[in-house]
Amino acid sequence: MRTMKYKCIVVSKRGPPENLQIAEFDLREPSAKEARVKVLATCVCLPDVQARYGIGPFPPKLPFVPGYTVVGVVDAVGPGVTQAAPGDKVAAYLIIGGYAEYVYLRETQIVPFPASLNPAEAVPLLLNYVTAYQILHRSAKVKVGHKVLIIGASGGCGTAFLDLGRLANLRMYGIASKSKHAILAEFGATPIDYRTENFVEVIRRAEPGGLDAVFDGMGGDYVERAFPLLRRGGVLVEYGNPLSMRGLLRALAKTLALDLLPNGRTVKPYGASAFLPFNRKPFLEDWAVLFRLLQEGKIRPVISGEFPLLDAARANALLETGQVVGNLVLVAPELLEARQMG
């Protein structure tokens, strides 16, 4: 009997998108407490790129399959699985492994997923939207009318902040290049061009009383420049991935130093992948909320492009141009075909 195979995208050496290579593996039966899932959609995100280049405090060892999150359909389950059955749509937060035709999930990784949702539209909720939602509502605890600044407002996370911030009735300012200002305005945010405008001066003129919150996914000197823009009691949440162990330690030291200043302002670090392994409950709660908001049409992720699942190199190359607004998604070929026919 011939062994069935499946394909995935493997990084076997650090470097540019062309290092994403298609490889074949045997399709095995799931083991105990494990589900085999046919991948329907996975996002292409900045952490995938950073992992490929080996950037970050804890880059994955070579070789590895990129792909932070997936939505798929259960193909088979091993003994003892009670959280899913063949035919169920499920989601998962993996960190690595999603660029594949099939993934094997431990039962503890399975996230319930509404069958009515479009996998390509919903997969950004698992990383970018849950990050923005938790920062808004768990870290900053925003209220109607709060004034906030989004640093890096046009990418996958930035547009999630815009979408959820509009829903929360926030007064939003966003930093992005001029060519991307239309999407900020569409969500009701005031755009600031980082190339031609000094955002500190713009905010001081517009909000002399100070901001309630700043959300920074860019790092660099943005923290030092944005921190004084907060009102007393305001919070700056930093969620960008440190580019090295030294960068992580420097960011933690900077956070501690700013928090010690007697001005009533706070800096909070946020990292979903750091918290999720220790406490899944808030993530499961927040994903359920986000799925419901999408079902009700109250949020709508910005999808700039959908690519066939194995065309990851082209999607990654596009992401690296810096021209992408919102999200790029890799999709199972049958979903693309169904959409083209429909």
Per-residue pLDDT reduced to its tens digit, 68-121: 999 999 999 999 999 999 999 999 999 999 999 999 999 999 999 999 999 999
What is the average pLDDT score of the chain? Answer: 92
The answer to whether residues 22 and 135 belong to one domain is no
Residue 307 lies in a domain: yes
State the pLDDT confidence band at 279, using cuts at 50, 70 and 90: confident
CA-nearest of 158, 134, 139, 136 to 45 is: 158
The answer to whether residues 164 and 240 belong to one domain is yes
Residue 317 lies in a domain: yes
Residue 293 lies in a domain: no
* Count: domains in the chain: 2
Given this model, what pLDDT does residue 292 score? 98
Residue 40 lies in a domain: yes
Cα–Cα distance for residue pair 232/41, rounded to 1 Å: 43
Structural contact between residues 125 and 291, judged by C-beta atoms closer than 8 angstroms: yes
The answer to whether residues 96 and 189 belong to one domain is no
pTM of the model: 0.93
State the pLDDT confidence band at 248, using cuts at 50, 70 and 90: low
Output the CA torsion 90→153→195→57 (10° steps).
Answer: -50
Cα–Cα distance for residue pair 169/337, rounded to 1 Å: 38
The answer to whether residues 52 and 170 belong to one domain is no
Residue 281 lies in a domain: no
Determine the average pLDDT of the residues in 216-222: 88
Token pair for 161: 């902040």
Determine the average pLDDT of the residues in 206-226: 94
Structural contact between residues 102 and 310, judged by C-beta atoms closer than 8 angstroms: no
pLDDT, tens digit, for every residue of 112-162? 999 999 999 999 999 999 999 999 999 999 999 999 999 999 999 999 999
The answer to whether residues 257 and 331 belong to one domain is no
Domain with 214, as residue range(s), is 128-274
Q: Who contacts 91 (Cβ-Cβ below 8 Å, separation ≥6)?
A: 69, 70, 71, 72, 110, 111, 112, 113, 122, 123, 126, 287
Determine the average pLDDT of the residues in 206-222: 94
The answer to whether residues 203 and 331 belong to one domain is no
The answer to whether residues 212 and 265 belong to one domain is yes
The answer to whether residues 76 and 167 belong to one domain is no
